């Protein structure tokens, strides 16, 4: 059997000397006859919060389950905490924590009982577990609820308990699969603060999947964007947005989006144009200089423009330019992030 931990290169991303907690190379996973992971490459450095962003069905959960050793790769390689997930799954499991989407808590047990059980499964003694719970501080700050059955918890409290359970045995790497999906804005922000705390104060490397653009933007040092089983972009949120240009001009037009796009593409100040419905988005280097020529070009082309707005690029613009699609929910309705953006 190969001992991946002894192969120094697997701990380092190409061209970078920083040690890596997660290294994925040309990873494929077939499910139901489909290549759900179609050659994923990515690297998460030690101590990083890595945001893995993608719309519904893109393959996020499949990748996380593979990295947590719950699914075997079809081909390619994944190394987590220094060990190959396919050949050394036991070593990987000892070193990671995971709060996955389909967590089945025994709701009759109290939070404290569940946390203690989790610690005992990792061979910890009661005193060690209690010390660890104090160390986790705010993360387990469920107050007196810690001694109530988990069945009485709100969604946010259950999610916090999930994350705390993933951390009881002091793993170096923790996987959080869509930890805030379904939470109200207040609970979401509380969980964000906790993720930041466990990364900054406890030094835990965090691999976090999300379908919320804002979440990746706020939490992640670096972001990987997955679409149809492939990582289509990787970088810091700012780096990714800079690929779009400095500013974005958005024109809402009356049924003439094609004419508007053609007119804008002819302008020197415009770097790229995307169309969605009656909305035409132009990426530009200098928004204040571009706004005038854009308005004139639309008027000259005879396009009736309902509104013209200037804003900074978002990760959704990055996704749109890479895939030709916006982030959207299954039913095609705008994602909550988009809806929020539209009302700003």
Q: Which residues bind ligand ATP (CB under 6 A)?
A: 31-32, 36, 54, 56-62, 211
Nearest residue relative to ligand ATP (C-beta)? 32
Nearer to ligand ATP, 58 or 270 (CB): 58
Reference 1, options 130, 116, 108, 87; nearest CA is: 87
Alpha carbon distance 309, 95 (integer Å): 48
Strand arrangement of the beta sheet that strand 279-284 belongs to? 270-276, 279-284, 247-253, 305-311
Q: Which is nearer to ligand ATP, 268 or 330 (CB)?
A: 330
Nearer to ligand ATP, 53 or 253 (CB): 53
**R_g over Cα of the chain:** 23
Minimum CB distance to ligand ATP, residue 31 (Å): 4
For ligand ATP, give the closer residue by CB, 58 or 183.
58
Residue with Cβ nearer ligand ATP (60 or 160): 60
C-beta closer to ligand ATP: residue 35 or 135: 35
Name the minimum Å distance from CB 72 to ligand ATP. 13
Min separation Cβ 334 and ligand ATP, Å: 16
Specify the residue, 36 or 86, whose C-beta has the smaller distance to ligand ATP.
Answer: 36
Q: What is the DSSP letter of 333?
A: P
Give me the least distance between CB of 144 and ligand ATP, in Å please.
Answer: 34
Shortest Cβ 54–ligand ATP spacing (Å): 5
CB of 211 to ligand ATP, least distance (A): 5
The pair of three-digit structure tokens given for residue 140, joined into one six-digit string: 């387990």
Is the Cβ–Cβ distance between 318 and 233 less than 8 Å?
A: yes
Relative to beta strand 279-284, strand 270-276 is: antiparallel
Instruction: Tell the smallest beta-carbon distance from residue 186 to ligand ATP (Å).
Output: 22
Q: What single string gives the DSSP state of each residue in 187-249?
A: HHHHHHHHHHHHHHTT--EEEEEES-HHHHHHH-SEEEEEETTEEEEEE-HHHHHHTT-SEEE
Q: In whole angstroms, how close is the CB of 331 to ligand ATP at the nearest point? A: 12
Minimum distance, C-beta of residue 333 to ligand ATP, in the bound complex (Å): 14
Cα 171 to Cα 141: distance, rounded to the nearest angstrom: 20
Task: Please check whether residue 132 is in contact with residue 212, taking contact to mean a CB–CB distance below 8 angstroms.
Answer: no
DSSP bridge pairs for 226: 231
Which residue's CB is nearer to ligand ATP, number 85 or number 146? 85
**What is the rounded distance in angstroms from the CA atom of residue 180 to the CA atom of residue 188?**
6
Residue closer to ligand ATP (CB basis): 36 or 44: 36
Q: Are 19 and 11 in contact (CB under 8 A)?
A: yes
Q: In what order do the strands lie in the sheet with 222-227?
A: 96-99, 173-177, 205-210, 49-53, 222-227, 230-235
């Amino acid at each position: 059997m190969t001992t991946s931990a002894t192969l120094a290169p697997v701990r380092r991303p190409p061209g970078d000397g920083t040690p890596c907690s997660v290294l994925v190379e040309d990873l494929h996973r077939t499910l139901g006859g489909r290549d759900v992971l179609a050659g994923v490459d990515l690297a998460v450095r030690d101590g990083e919060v890595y945001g893995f962003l993608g719309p519904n069905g893109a393959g996020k959960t499949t990748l996380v389950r593979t990295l947590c050793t719950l699914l075997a790769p079809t081909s390619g390689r994944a190394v987590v905490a220094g060990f190959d997930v396919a050949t050394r799954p036991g070593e990987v499991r000892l070193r990671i924590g995971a709060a996955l989407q389909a967590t089945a808590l025994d709701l009759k047990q109290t939070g404290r009982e569940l946390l203690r059980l989790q610690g005992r499964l990792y061979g910890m003694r009661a005193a060690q577990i209690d010390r660890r719970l104090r160390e986790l501080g705010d993360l387990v700050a469920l107050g007196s609820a810690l001694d109530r059955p988990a069945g009485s918890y709100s969604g946010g409290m259950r999610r916090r308990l999930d994350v705390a359970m993933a951390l009881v045995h002091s793993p170096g790497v923790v996987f959080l699969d869509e930890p805030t999906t379904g939470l109200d804005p207040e609970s979401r922000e509380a969980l964000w603060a906790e993720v930041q705390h466990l990364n900054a104060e406890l030094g835990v490397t965090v691999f976090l999947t999300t379908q919320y653009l804002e979440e990746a933007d706020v939490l992640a040092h670096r972001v990987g964007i997955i679409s149809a089983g492939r990582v289509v972009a990787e970088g810091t949120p700012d780096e990714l947005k800079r690929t779009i240009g400095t500013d974005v001009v958005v024109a809402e037009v009356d049924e003439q989006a094609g004419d508007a796009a053609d007119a804008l593409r002819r302008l020197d100040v415009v770097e790229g144009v995307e169309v969605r419905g009656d909305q035409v988005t132009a990426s530009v280097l200098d928004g204040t200089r571009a706004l005038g020529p854009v308005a004139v070009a639309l008027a000259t082309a005879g396009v009736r423009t309902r509104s013209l707005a200037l804003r900074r690029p978002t990760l959704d613009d990055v996704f749109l330019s890479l895939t030709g699609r916006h982030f959207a929910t299954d039913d095609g309705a705008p994602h909550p992030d988009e809806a929020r953006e539209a009302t700003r």
